Amino acid sequence: MPEPTAPRTEEVLRAAEFRTALRRFERQSDRIARASGLTPRRYLILLLIKGAADGSERSTVTELAKRMSLAQSTVTELVARAEDAGLVQRESSPDDGRVVKLAVTKEGERRLTEAFRSLAAERRSLREAIGRLAD
């Protein structure tokens, strides 16, 4: 089996720039989430519920666990704490009474909106870094 070809310097530089931009985005996201009265994980939970893949702005614990790459028991605890903080609420699914959907409360929406709007410049910078990586 032939030895793999070493990456070109330009490729490595773009990858390093992207990783730096990604870490900067994560740090800024955490800082802004906290300034909006959210833990980084609560911000992510609200974001994933509001940004549900099906457009419903609703999610289940199972869906969140998959998207967050965390154990369901961990997400169950995170959701319980977010619910205690008044950020999310549980609703029975109109399609299947056995299914409980999570929705963002008005207070959760307020804090999510504040953090999300404050991160606009960071999202733009990350998109630019992704674009340079693909070049």
Angle at 104 between CA 33 and CA 23, to 5 degrees: 30
Return the pLDDT at 131: 85
Residue 27 near residue 35, CB atoms below 8 Å? no
Return the pLDDT at 20: 92
Return the pLDDT at 7: 87
Alpha-carbon torsion (125, 56, 46, 59), positive or negative: negative
Return the pLDDT at 92: 86
How many angstroms separate the first and last alpha carbons of the chain?
A: 29
Return the pLDDT at 39: 96
pLDDT per residue, tens digit, the chain (135 aa), is 778 898 889 889 988 988 998 999 999 999 999 999 999 999 999 999 999 999 999 999 999 999 999 999 999 999 999 999 999 999 987 777 788 999 999 999 999 999 999 999 989 988 888 888 776
pTM higher than 0.85: yes
Residue 58 near residue 91, CB atoms below 8 Å? yes
Length of the chain equals: 135
